[in-house]
A = this chain, B = another copy of it.
Amino acid sequence: MASDRTRAAILDAAERLYADRGFADVTLRDIVAAANVNLAAVNYHFGSKDELIAELFVTRSLATNRERLNELKSAEAAGGGRAPIDAILRALVGPTLRGCLGPENERSTAARFMIRASIESVPPIRRIKNREIDHLRKFAGAMRRSLPDRSEVDLYWGLHFALAMAHQTIRDSERLTKLSEGLCDLNDVAGVIERIVAVSVMALTGREAEKRIHAKLLARDAR
């Protein structure tokens, strides 16, 4: 129906404006002007401004989560139920980073919107993010299966650190570029992902591996 066109136009214009100018200074009037619809249409179709923002964010983050889970499932399937830890972490941070990094002018509106959402964090978005825990639990489960000897605490910290690095790399990409005077190439998305995965893997297995090697060393010394 014609109503769907209006709805879609609002969503489109809103996402673009938020992506370009941030949440703080985009008003409903800006949105309806860009969408060529009446001011009341937003409240008619979405109920409120916050619900409009929430719908935008939910749509995008559901897509990311789906992508993450697909990668996770195929990694686990390939390993007969147990995926290697690096594959799990790659499934966790890959989709987000691929979406949000890369050449600035090539970034989709959706990506730039999600970056804004990550940086500015308005109330409706915060509320949704708080419900993301169930989704993360699936990754915690996969990690537990992959590294059954690691303690739960270590697994959670590893998961947290992986997300922290990915998230903050998106949020602060500009600072890292300035600080390193361009040396750190954030357009090399695959490279960034591998870096984060490598560090996370070390965080999860590093000391154990070192200890194991040391133990070997000691055993040989004893001989």
Contacts and interface: CB of A to CB of B under 8 A. Distances in A.
Interface of A: 24, 119-123, 129-130, 132-133, 136-137, 140, 152-153, 156-157, 159-161, 163-165, 167-169, 172, 175-176, 178-180, 183-184, 195-196, 198-199, 202-203, 206-207, 209-210, 213-214, 216-217, 220
Contacts of A207: 198, 202
Contact of A183 (B156, B161, B175, B202): B156
Q: Is the interface of A mostly helix, strand, loop or mixed?
A: helix
Given A184-B156, A220-B220, A121 B120 contact: yes
A220 B217 CA distance: 9
A166 to B, nearest CB: 9
Contact of A133 (B159, B175, B202): B175
Contacts of A122: 24
Given A24-B123, A220-B220, A168 B175 contact: no
Given A133-B179, A153-B183, A183-B153, A172 B160 contact: yes
A175 to B, nearest CB: 7
A34 B121 CA distance: 27
Given A133-B175, A203-B202, A206-B206, A168 B169 contact: no
